[in-house]
Amino acid sequence: MTQTQTWFFLILAVLFGLLIYLLQPILGPFMLGIGIAYMTDPFADRLEARGYSRTMAVVIVFLVLTVLLISSLLIAVPLFIKQLQSLIAMVPDIQSWCNNVMLPFLQSRFNLDLQSLELDVLAQTMSSEWQQTGGVASQVMGYLTASTLGLVGFIGSAFLVPVVGFYLLRDFDILVAKIQEILPRNIEPKVSLWVRECDEVLGAFVRGQLLVMLALGFIYGIGLSIAGLKYAMLIGLLAGLASIVPYLGFAVGFIVAMLVAVFQFDSYWGFLAITMVFVIGQALEGMVLTPWLIGDRIGLHPVAVIFAVLAGGQLFGFTGMLLALPLAAVIMVLLRHLHQGYRNSSLYDQ
């Protein structure tokens, strides 16, 4: 790369970052649409390879996504709302146990001066909200309908996501080829190599980790239901979402499940069953799900994932959180090449 090209791309990167900063309030739907197109492109490519036209392949992909989304909303959402309502009603019992059992134990054991937990106000507030018709949904809709402009903006943003995703997925390969075509010829092979490596890292992480999270959510939810634990599906969902970072889902789900078990089970068999569910889930994640769905090509350390998401949210809000993982993958690939170049340089050999 020549010095002129270096300065050109540096200026372009700065302008791009400034543009994202200025437009971040409206970029959310577009970033979600881009994410949908990126994650579903391999499935559209497979359908296209089987003889379907690109447009028909995209239509099939979106029909499948729509069916899955509607099915999930109709089946899972009412169940989760019911379990969440029951969990909110249990808050006074949790407060009583914490104040009468846990806090005295900690004070006597570690000589700590701890204040009593005041959860009754929280419980009353949350219970009153859920007892209202529609609960949170009515609150959200009330907030949106209070402002006609806000309602129009919400509907427009929700409508933009599938529209952007559909058209980007239909023209995904064309856009990639166009971008590759406008690159300077002397750097095109190297940039294409970097982009392929970034795609491999990011694709393996995003698509694979989402599938791992979904599978773990079902495993934990069904396993805890068989064990007879209350709020099993809710805890399974929480553990599955937290599994975006390895071992975090196991830790969060196990702790929450054990806290619920304290108020439900009178024998050790329930605690043993919960332990077995999470041990089996963790074993399946490590020996089956992660090797099968992700493999060993990621290279994104869990700490790097957490830092990237938090840093992106701090700098650019919701849009920054959506951009965090792609940028982390790009930076990781660049650092890998810089490291290799440093190892081959005279600076390292001296």
Q: Is 41 exposed, middle or buried (0-12, 13-18, 19+ CB in 10 A)?
A: buried
Sequence-ordered list of residues with C-beta below 8 angstroms from that of 27, at least 6 positions apart, any chain: 20, 319
Integer-rounded Cα radius of gyration of the chain: 25
Domain count for the chain: 1
- Sequential DSSP letters for 94-115: HHHHIIIIIHHHHHHHH----P
Domain residue limits at 155: 23-77+144-182
| Spatial separation of the C-alpha atoms in residues 119 and 33, rounded to whole Å | 40
State the pLDDT at residue 127: 52
- For the segment 276-280, the average pLDDT, to the nearest whole number, is 92
| Spatial separation of the C-alpha atoms in residues 255 and 248, rounded to whole Å | 11
Q: Is 94 within the bounds of a domain?
A: no
- Range with lowest mean pLDDT among 39-43, 124-128, 296-300, 341-345: 124-128
Q: What is the pTM of this model?
A: 0.66
Give the pLDDT confidence of 20-65 residue by residue, as tens digits.
778 777 777 888 888 888 888 888 999 999 988 999 999 999 999 9
Q: Is 46 within the bounds of a domain?
A: yes
- Check pLDDT > 60 for residue 125: no
Q: Is 165 within the bounds of a domain?
A: yes
Q: Is 62 within the bounds of a domain?
A: yes
- Check pLDDT > 90 for residue 84: no
